[in-house]
Amino acid sequence: MTANADITRSRASWVQKLKDYQQLVKFTLSFTVVFSCVICYLLAPKVVVYDVKMIVLLFIAGLLVTGSANAINQAVEKDTDAQMKRTGSRPVASGRMSQQEAYTFALLAGVAGVLMMWYFFNFSSALVSAFSLFLYAFIYTPLKKVSSIAVLVGAFPGALPCLIGWVAGNNDFGAGGWALFGIQFLWQFPHFWAIAWVAHNDYSRVGFKLLPSDKGPTRFTALQAVMYAVLMIPVGMLPYYFGLTGMVSLWIVVAANLFMVVQCVRLYKEMDVKAARRVMFSSYIYLPIVFLALLADKIHLV
């Protein structure tokens, strides 16, 4: 009986440890980020054959780099996370994992991910990956308590996976890669401000300054979300303009962008958490719809 009990406890301990690491790397968020990276890799004109091995390697490398950045974020913000309802159960914040363990994992994962990008793809993609990790973990993370400009700064590492994927596939910093970067860059503003609106009480209590207005959720904040959603319309047309994709995806992207504008306008009119939550969930479905439409309508040069 004792032996069986020990085995059961050991198994439960390993299951909990795996769950902790899943939380540490913010797996759902990391998956979304790497999804964009892989799609943009496949959209690169030089990627004419979809090699499953290379896709898997890119996915793993992307998860390692993104997971490293998220682990550093949680190690740095352990005290802040512990004070917020939505983050208090994270492994470092709750005390189930030490800061040292999180930093060690982040170092190993970050180095492994960047080296994989270099070895299997190219030096440029590895360099951008390292820069993105540094910008998110060491500039954006501490800046959140200093100024709302943190959202602007954080939008760069948030969109760089698109450029990383493009460079990994095309080995250049061409206009197509920047167009894809621009789509995800602008998308982050209504997306993140909606999250900050919903979580405003938690964020303000710990000193995070993430909304464009010092007075919190205001019409100015909603207007900013509308403005960025409107800017997404012409930027979303750039893949078609640069000859990456066809007319079908153009109309799908325009429709998705107009839907985002409508949701942001509703936020401006209604000014409540329910409307902000609609913007937030709309932004979650926006990226997969847009990027999958672009990939399905990719123009293959002969």
Average pLDDT, integer, range 249-257: 97
Nearest CA to 83 among 174, 201, 202, 170?
Answer: 202
- Is residue 147 within 8 A of residue 209, CB to CB? The reply is yes
Average pLDDT, integer, range 284-293: 95
Q: Is 274 exposed, middle or buried (0-12, 13-18, 19+ CB in 10 A)?
A: exposed
The residue whose two tokens read 């440890």 is 17
Nearest CA to 211 among 137, 153, 269, 149?
Answer: 149
- Is residue 197 within 8 A of residue 225, CB to CB? The reply is no
More confident residue, 2 or 95: 95
167 plus 191 within the same structural domain:
no
**Would you say residue 203 lies in a domain?**
yes
The residue whose two tokens read 């800061």 is 99
Q: Domain with 145 in it: what CATH number?
A: 1.10.357.140
**Would you say residue 92 lies in a domain?**
yes
Confidence of residue 12 (pLDDT cuts 50, 70, 90): low
Q: What is the dihedral of CA 92, 93, 96, 99, to 10 degrees?
A: 30
Nearest CA to 81 among 190, 199, 198?
Answer: 199
Write the DSSP symbol of residue 63: H
**Would you say residue 1 lies in a domain?**
no
Confidence of residue 1 (pLDDT cuts 50, 70, 90): low
Confidence of residue 147 (pLDDT cuts 50, 70, 90): confident
- Is residue 277 within 8 A of residue 268, CB to CB? The reply is no
Q: Please give the Cα distance from 84 to 95 (Å, whole number).
A: 14
**Would you say residue 2 lies in a domain?**
no
Cα three-residue angle 114-116-117, rounded to 5 degrees: 65
199 plus 152 within the same structural domain:
no
Q: How far is CA 298 from CA 58, 176, 262, in A?
A: 20, 12, 27
Task: Choose one of 134, 158, 173: the last residue of a domain.
Answer: 173
284 plus 159 within the same structural domain:
no
**Would you say residue 71 lies in a domain?**
yes
Task: Choose one of 143, 173, 203: the last residue of a domain.
Answer: 173
Write out pLDDT tens, residues 59-89: 999 999 999 999 999 999 888 888 888 888 8
Nearest CA to 260 among 287, 238, 229?
Answer: 229
pLDDT > 90? residue 52: yes
Confidence of residue 187 (pLDDT cuts 50, 70, 90): very high
Write 4-9 long-range contacts (CB < 8 A, 24+): none
Q: Give the domain range for residue 296.
A: 174-302
Tell me the two tokens of residue 169.
């596939």
159 plus 27 within the same structural domain:
yes
Task: Name the residue type at position 269.
Answer: K
120 plus 227 within the same structural domain:
no
Structural domains of the chain, count: 2
**Would you say residue 152 lies in a domain?**
yes
Helix (H, G, I), strand (E, B), or coil: what is residue 174? coil
Task: Choose one of 140, 173, 206: the last residue of a domain.
Answer: 173
Q: How far is CA 160 from CA 78, 104, 124, in A?
A: 26, 24, 12
- Is residue 176 within 8 A of residue 43, CB to CB? The reply is yes
252 plus 197 within the same structural domain:
yes
Percent of the chain whose pLDDT exceeds 90: 70
Confidence of residue 55 (pLDDT cuts 50, 70, 90): very high
193 plus 142 within the same structural domain:
no
**Would you say residue 13 lies in a domain?**
no
- Is residue 180 within 8 A of residue 242, CB to CB? The reply is no
Confidence of residue 2 (pLDDT cuts 50, 70, 90): low
- Is residue 188 within 8 A of residue 158, CB to CB? The reply is yes
207 plus 245 within the same structural domain:
yes
Q: What backbone phi and psi angles, to 5 degrees, belong to 9?
A: -65, -40
